[in-house]
Structure 1
Amino acid sequence: MWIDTVSDILHEAAATAILPRYRSLADGEVMEKTSGEVVTVADREAEELITRRLRSVLDAPVVGEETTAADPGLITALRDAPAAWLVDPLDGTANFIAGRPEYAVMAALIRNGQAVASWIVQPAEGRTYVAEKGSGAWRDGIRIHRPPAPADPADMRGAALTRFLDPAAKARVQAATSRFAALGPGAKCAGVDYPRLADGVQDFLLYQRTLPWDHAPGALLLTEAGGVAHRPDETAYRPTDAERGLLAAADAHSWRTVHAILMQR
């Protein structure tokens, strides 16, 4: 499994296309992709570089966030192809544009609809997270083991991205805020929030929209570190799922506790 090779590719993309523009984007280098969604030249150039390099490692379809925005049919490769690459060239684009360090470069290898390896590079922080299904998760070469979350919700810290929640779900989150030690929007970057959960900085994450390039890398990192990433019906997350909604937590007990507070009607 080409762990170091792919890590090097993501670092090359960051060094070539992303870091030179960090806090120095020029006029015209930020465009609207869809209503409320922006993209930068850095996103597109990084994805082009990563796509070329990954195909030289394993000649399989590359499902990149920006390419798929132009050709939505590409996403079917995650389900139909024996193997496919999944790429988010710049997760946390809004943070990057604002000059905040909470952004990441991510990739995953999908086989038969499941993530079998994943990579998360945080260029501004100089950290690299990798995971391989059945083998474990690492931060900068150090094995990660997620400790259990506190048993009492009043001691738990979490994040809920409420932007895509329906009004009833958003109201439940707002009403439950005082029941936790902390509950906010998180970094608004899955490539930062999943590693924080795996590292023990946070105890749970709640999402409604679960685009595969946002969640496949972090979900594998978390589960290989000992955490849980399940749909609201308690089935394990898969990148090919059509379902919406995802609760990720430090362990099964904390998942059930948070699920009862935030997701049960």
Structure 2
Amino acid sequence: MIDDFLAGDLTDVEEAVRKAAAAEIMPRFRQLAAHEVVEKKGPHDLVTVADRLAEEHLTASLTALLPGSRVVGEEGVHANPAALDALHGDDPVWIVDPVDGTRQFVHGDPGFATLVCLAHRGELLASWTYAPALDEMATARRGAGAFLDGKPLRPGPAAPDAELRVAISHYDFTDDHEKRVLARLDTPGVVPRPCGSAGLEYLNVARGTADAIAFTWPNAWDHAAGLLLVAEAGGASATVAGEPFRIGGGNTMPFSAARDAGTLARILGLLAA
């Protein structure tokens, strides 16, 4: 079933992502009322009516495209943590972040994205990173490359003498220990900065406008689409323990994804120092 689905052109999935954003996200961009924004765990962890409705829209459309599949979405897991168990099952799973970069969305910043990744038994198979306010769609398929608006993504290695541009976990979402670990990247030859939308930071790595990311949180919906995008663009990723990042959890934090293996090794070496 999953092999037959992947053998298609997958344009129906891309269209489903675009339709969800057009119906539920963009009409509310810069139009949110105060009661449509709610704090989850604190003032920096926000959810909006657009997040919830877009995830419901995607859940219906994606499972219709692939009968027997399940959805693990940020808002669904927040409401029912047991939904995360689907990542360990035998059914194909759509990993969804309906509005990645909700804080940016709430503040009227176009730097947010809808992230969708299809996985099966822990393997990332295909992904879609859509920035509706920027009208950018990045796609990847296992073994078939990464693309931005239909054009191949292939950043290649960083220049030997270039400063490495690294997006790191935003300070508002890190504890004191994580701040100390990430501070190891504040060294000559590396220029760290707080990340925006995680999905768009992965896209920046895949197209070479950033060299790496270094993140300290494990949520599958934030990373699955981007990890496949970077891998298919020729990049590399690993945890600070030198292991592949597992979408089902159990990872040693932090982890990094980079435009090439050499850059990844350098970033992990600093984080592990």
Report the TM-score, using the length of structure 2 for normalisation: 0.91
1:228 aligned residue: 236
Q: Deviations over 1:148-203 (max 9, x none)?
A: 01234x5211111153445344235335424235311132x112100001000000
Structure 2 unaligned runs (5+)? Answer: 1-5
CA–CA distance in structure 1, aligned partners of residues 243 and 138 of structure 2: 25
Tell me, yes or no, if the aligned pair for 1:3 and 1:130 is still in contact at 8 Å.
Answer: no
Residues in 2 aligned to 1:87 and 1:146: alpha-carbon distance in whole angstroms:
26
Distance 1:257 1:219 in 2: 18
User: Residues 15-34 of structure 1: matches in 2 within 5 Å?
Assistant: 15-34=22-41
Deviations 1:195-234 (A, max 9, x none): 0010000001000002000000000000010001111111
> Does residue 220 of structure 2 align to residue 212 of structure 1?
yes
Counterparts of 1:41 and 1:169, CA distance in 2: 31
Partner of 1:115: 124
2:145 to 136, 139, 145: 136
Deviation digits for residues 55-103 of structure 1, max 9, x if unmatched? 1101211111101101000111011133111111110000000000110
- Separation in structure 2 between the aligned mates of residue 91 and residue 229 of structure 1, nearest angstrom: 20
SS in 1 for 2:35: coil
Find out whether 1:11 has 2:23 as its counterpart: no
Could you say which residue in structure 2 is the equivalent of 1:51?
Answer: 59
Distance 1:3 1:139 in 2: 15
Deviates more, 1:209-218 or 1:76-85: 76-85
2:101 match: 92
Query: Structure 1 stretches (4+) deviating beyond 6 angstroms?
Result: none
Equivalent pair of 1:17/1:46 in contact (CA under 8 Å): yes
CA distance in structure 2 between the aligned counterparts of 1:115 and 1:7, rounded to whole angstroms: 17
Match of 1:238 among 237, 241, 246: 246
Alpha carbons 1:226, 1:250 under 8 Å: kept:
yes
Conserved? CA contact 2:70–2:91, under 8 Å: no
**Paired residues for 1:129-168 under 5 Å:** 129-152=138-161, 155-163=163-171, 164-168=173-177
CA distance in 1, matches of 2:269, 2:46: 35
Cα contact 1:47–1:64 (8 A) shared by 2: yes
Q: 1:175 to 1:65 in 2, by over 3 A?
A: closer
Distance 2:229 2:141 in 1: 8
* Distance in structure 1 (CA, Å) of the matches to 2:48 and 2:72: 18
Map of 2:72 onto structure 1: 63
Contact 1:122 1:191 in 2 (8 A): no
Identity %: 35
Please give the TM-score of this superposition, normalised by the length of structure 1. Answer: 0.93
Cα distance change, pair 195–28 in 1 and its aligned pair in 2 (3 A): same
Say if 2:255 and 2:268, in contact at 8 Å, map to a contact too: no
Which residue identity is paired with 1:200? G
CA contact (8 A) 2:185 2:267 kept: no
Equivalences, count: 262
Contiguous gaps of at least 5 residues in structure 1: none
What value does the CA root-mean-square deviation take over the aligned residues?
1.6
